[in-house]
Structure 1
Amino acid sequence: MDSGVAEPVSIDGGWDSAATLIDGRWIERRPRRAEVADRLRMETELMPWLAPQLPLDVPEPHVVASEPLVVRHALVVGEPISEPTAEHGRQLGAFLRALHTVDPAEAVRRGLQGPEEAARELAEIVERFRADVLPLVPVEHRGAARALLDTFGEFPTDTVVHGDLGPEHVLCQGTGLSGVIDFSDAHVGDGAIDLAWTLHGTPPEFATALAEEYGVTRQLHDRALLWHRLGPWYEVVHGLDNELPDDVRSGLDGVVRRLRD
């Protein structure tokens, strides 16, 4: 007999959390590693306060089980952006402008990772890149790769950021954007991190419209390029940690390609 309740559907992807669609309208997330649990709990405190300040839908998770941790939020409708347009750029530019003007001190009081801890984590991952990724970079590109790593640690840490903004986290419905998901990497840091893919990994018409709507300065534009170049380094480490040689090769290809851009 048909109960009228849809079977749970596992959602592929996600380095940090395993996600399941429940009854066609709820997303449940479970941390893949112990340290991710704290990020999910942070979202349950931060997002209900943050959501009303943003012009697109975002998840507002709540805890449904503590041991092991499970959080749930209403499904944010839409599909990951695949053909960014100028209108999409304007919408995302307005979203980021709103996010980046949120009061960081109040956000920290709501559970968001503060600038000191975020800076410490960045310093740790950059040192990991030096130790484990830099030796794998082809020797002819190693000088430029080392110079890239040397720039981090000098950037502002004064803005509430999404921290992992890419096409898989920006959703569309019809001709417009419908939402932004996955705030587990949110923190108080450099606003340019959210402009990395949006300015340097998208079609010119999207990037230009976003920059105009947001009000991107030359300094932000240039720092965003450095963050964009750093992105593939995370893929290499993910591949090393999980014995995924294809990810290591893909990440290294990305490191070299973006150093040339």
Structure 2
Amino acid sequence: MTSFSEGWDSEARLVQGRWVERRPRRPEIAGQLHTEVSLMSWPAPQLPLPVPVPAVARAEPLVAWHDLVPGDSLTTPDAAQARSLAGFLRALHTADPVEAVRRGTPSARQVREQRATMTAEFDSRVLPLLPAERREPATALLAEVAALPADTLVHCDLGPEHVLTRDGELTGVIDFGDVHIGDPAIDLAWALNDTPPAFAAALTAAYPADP
């Protein structure tokens, strides 16, 4: 077996050059991996790029396997790749959220409860540390976070390390551990704000993204 670079959530090893074996690093990650097992076989045929479709190999301690999604992390984003990613995101974001929740995806209610807990913690622990003139805009920002939409199946951890490429073409999207029903803008954050202008412009035109 060959170990991949250290992941925050799971240990991952390549087996016989064909399969990826994953083991949760922490107890709470087992629940995320079970969600992937329950969910990913459903959207995979609807998506224009390959994604991991894990299955449980051993229940206790949890071990899951899936076919290797080939490719390397995206390092030189271009407009053609942006259009390919836009097609992937359109398909993912139009998947039925009711069916996704039925298959174990965290629901809109759960996501809103998590946001409320997070913003309350920021309000009590972080805001008092800010200069007085920053507290009012920070409070307004937290209110906006709490009110974000929760109506779309989202990847929620989309960045260049999870978008794979080979010979200049996208070959897959990986790491769906944070998938949930949330705000589709989260999947555009990196793609529109930390990529070359040509990539961002092509993705905006092909998605399309509103302000």
Deviation, 1:122, is 2.3
Helix, strand or coil at the partner of 1:18: strand
Map 1:86-165 onto structure 2 (within 5 A): 86-132=79-125, 144-165=137-158
CA shift for structure 1 position 135: 6.0
Q: Does residue 1:203 correspond to 2:209, yes or no?
A: no
How far did residue 14 of structure 1 move? 2.1
The match for 1:44 is 37
1:169 aligns with 2:150: no
Q: Which residue of 2 aligns with 1:35?
A: 28
From 37, 60, 63, give the equivalent of 2:56: 63
Greater CA deviation, 93-102 or 28-37?
Answer: 28-37
1:191 and 2:184 are equivalent in the alignment: yes
SS, match of residue 124 in structure 1: helix
**How big is the alpha-carbon RMSD for the aligned residues of Structure 1 and Structure 2?**
1.9
Is 2:72–2:165's contact at 8 Å kept on the other side of the alignment? yes
CA shift for structure 1 position 10: 1.8
Distance 1:68 1:129 in 2: 34
Distance 1:84 1:63, change over 3 A: same
- TM-score normalised by L of structure 2: 0.92
Q: Which amino acid aligns with 1:33?
A: R
* Residue 179 (structure 1) shift: 0.3
In structure 2, how many angstroms separate the alpha carbons of the residues matched to 1:131 and 1:68?
A: 37
Distance change >3 Å, CA 132–CA 201, structure 1 → 2:
farther
> Equivalent residue of 1:111, what SS?
coil
Give me the whole-angstrom Cα distance separating, in 2, the residues matched to 1:14 and 1:132: 29
Runs of 5+ consecutive residues of structure 2 not aligned to the other structure: none
Which amino acid counterpart does residue 29 of structure 1 have in structure 2? Answer: R
More helix by share: 1
1:58 shift after superposition: 0.1
Question: Could you tell me how far apart the structure 1 residues matched to 2:101 and 2:41 are?
Answer: 14
Distance 1:170 1:155, change over 3 A: same
Q: What is the CA–CA distance in structure 1 between the aligned matches of 2:64 and 2:56, rounded to whole Å? A: 4
Q: Distance in 2 between matches of 1:30 and 1:135?
A: 39
The TM-score, its normalising length taken from structure 1, stands at 0.75
Identity of aligned residues (%): 53
Quote the offset at 1:131 in angstroms: 4.6
Give matches, 1:10-25, under 5 Å: 10-25=3-18
For residues 7 and 44 of structure 2, what CA distance do their matches in structure 1 show? 22
Q: In 1, distance between residues paired with 2:195 and 2:4?
A: 25
1:97-135 CA-to-partner distances (Å, cap 9, x unmatched) read: 010001110111122111111111222233344455556
Amino acid at match of 2:150: T
- Whole-angstrom CA distance in 1 between matches of 2:128 and 2:160: 30
